[in-house]
Amino acid sequence: MPKVRTKDIIKKFDMELISGEEGINRPITTTDISRPGLEIAGYFEYYPAERLQLLGKTELTFFEKLNPRDRAERMEKLCTDITPGIIVTRDMEVPVELVEAAERESVPLLRSKQKTTRLSSHLTNYLESKLAPTTAVHGVLVDLYGIGVLITGKSGVGKSETALELVKRGHRLVADDCVEIRQEDIGTLVGNSPDLIEHLLEIRGVGIINVMTLFGAGAVRSHKRISLIIDLEIWDQKKSYDRLGLDEEKMKILDTDITKLTIPVRPGRNLAVIIEVAAMNFRLKRMGVNAAEQFTNRLSDVIEDGDHDEH
């Protein structure tokens, strides 16, 4: 199913529909925007017909200089069966030839009050967020001290209970159980909650609670960039866990690698506090302070000093 149709941008950017109403359900498949200056000058060799076409002052002033036959023919060529829309900016007068061609080919012809360059960048940003690759992950997403932490782990390990404790400690819930993730840029993953379960947490034995009504609007966020993954697993005696924090594990979601920590769960460990500290430590590392490295370096110095003393 197409993620964006022409009618979505008409609504979002408050555009006026001038003709070609039959085509408002056409899909927009690319984030690229075209300003068909060369095409209006007659060069259609590389015309990217599948993009939204933006006509600004430059294109339309040039168009006025053409003879009537060229005007009709070029507007006819601009309107193809895959063109999602042609937008005239700055609320300018729309050429009659374009109105007629758009109506014949059912290409939505729109008019916007915005300036061309500004509209172009707004459209690109909007389309990039809508057409970004997406996936869904089983887990809980919380905002801790400004760090988006995705808590994963098998069912029943205590993800939602930990999230509840974190919310009580003043942090914010983004999504529980299912996290929708979109890759807005290479290296940038943004997570949000499906509409149906937004603000809800499911706690076994208590049922479904609404975090926003219980703890207030400050306890929730609609979306958050994911910076850290914390995987909870039941403590395994045979497995050796990272005790210094020197090894940095990564997990790939879509095309992006995210730092991942595995935290063993057993009675008596306060997971919320551990996750809080992990988030703070992650922030420190990003600022260039690495406690594990400092400890290792100090340890090496002590060992070296010991060697010197023996000699």
Name the binding residues: 153-160, 202
DSSP character string of 192-223: E--GGGTTEEEETTTEEEEHHHHH-GGGB-SE
Among residues 69, 238, 239, 243, which one is catalytic?
A: 243
Helices 159-168 and 271-286 pack at an angle, to 10 degrees, of 70
Is 266 in contact with 157 (CB distance < 8 Å)?
no
Residue 171 appears among annotated catalytic residues: no
CA atoms within 13 A on the CB side of 129: 11
8 belongs to the catalytic site: no
Give Cβ neighbours of residue 78 (< 8 Å, ≥ 6 apart). Answer: 36, 39, 40, 47, 53, 86, 98, 101, 107
CA 250 – CA 291 distance, rounded (Å) = 19
Spot the catalytic one: 90, 177, 260, 285.
177
* DSSP bridge pairs for 181: 135, 191
Tokens representing 277? 């500290």
Nearest to 172 by CA among 208, 199, 206: 199
Helices within 19-141 (DSSP H only) = 37-40, 57-64, 68-78, 96-105, 116-131
Q: Count of alpha carbons within 13 Å of 87, Cβ hemisphere only?
A: 28
Annotated binding residues for ATP: 153-160
Write out the binding residues for Mg(2+): 160, 202
| Annotated catalytic residue, options 26, 71, 111, 159 | 159
How many residues can be counted in the chain?
311
Pick the catalytic residue: 3, 11, 115, 138? 138
Residue 244 CB neighbour total at 10 angstroms: 11
List the structure tokens of 44. 């259609």
Residues labelled catalytic: 138, 159, 177, 243
